[in-house]
Amino acid sequence: MSKPTEPAKNSRRGLVLAGLAGAVAAVAALYVIAGPNGNIASAQSCSVALEAAKAAKPHAKGEVAAFIPASQPLELKQLTFMGPDNQPVTLADFKDRTVLLNLWATWCAPCRKEMPALDELQADLGSDDFEVVAVSLDRGGPDKPKAFLEEIGVGHLGFYQDSSNALLQDLRKVARATGLPTTILVGPEGCEIGTMYGPAEWASGEAKSLIESTMVRQGT
């Protein structure tokens, strides 16, 4: 067996350094949403969400079988988008309320299909303790998504939007929201309970049982 040449060693060293650089970048990204005072994945601040995720796991079946309970919940309080009055809001503004955060756009066919179910879910479970927050990512502004929601008779969802797509980019930095639709269940303390990639029948009994199981665990 021939002895490896020095360039090969350098090549391996370069791959190791590149891997380390990628790991550092991934760790750095964990501070983007939470800001300078703390990590997104805080064991202390998100401990309640972790327990809620464990409670949700047996309910991730049927229509919501693809729901992924968080094993290391992210703190998402600083995620920002535009509210119904066209003013910036953050998930921190939903303090003490469980939120089903849905990212959608009118150009996304699966997103369009699940909007009536999300509207029905809000009608059935919406309260001071729970809200479906569907955020339109249409780049052209609010007119087109508003017209679509009116056309299909959505009347229970508040209108939220982010035409800048900054919300999507922030979530992608922490390996969430790889595509649309993406739906994240967020606990009252602003921490991720679990994430669903792709559409779901959110008005189904399975979806409601999953959500309600986490709310009981959190005491909301």
User: CB 154: neighbour CB atoms within 10 A?
Assistant: 19
- The C-alpha atoms of residue 6 and residue 20 are separated, in whole angstroms, by 21
Instruction: Please compute Rg for the chain using Cα positions.
Output: 20
Q: Are 106 and 148 in contact (CB under 8 A)?
A: yes
| Site of tokens 């790889």 | 178
One pLDDT digit (tens) per residue for the chain, 220 residues:
444 444 444 444 444 434 434 433 333 333 233 333 333 444 468 999 999 999 999 999 999 999 999 999 999 999 999 999 999 999 999 999 999 999 999 999 999 999 999 999 999 999 999 999 999 999 999 999 999 999 999 999 999 999 999 999 999 998 898 899 999 999 999 999 999 999 999 999 999 999 999 997 665 5
- The C-alpha atoms of residue 116 and residue 121 are separated, in whole angstroms, by 9
Q: Are 91 and 190 in contact (CB under 8 A)?
A: yes
pTM reported for the whole predicted model: 0.80
> How buried is 39 (Cβ within 10 angstroms: 0-12 exposed, 13-18 middle, 19+ buried)?
middle
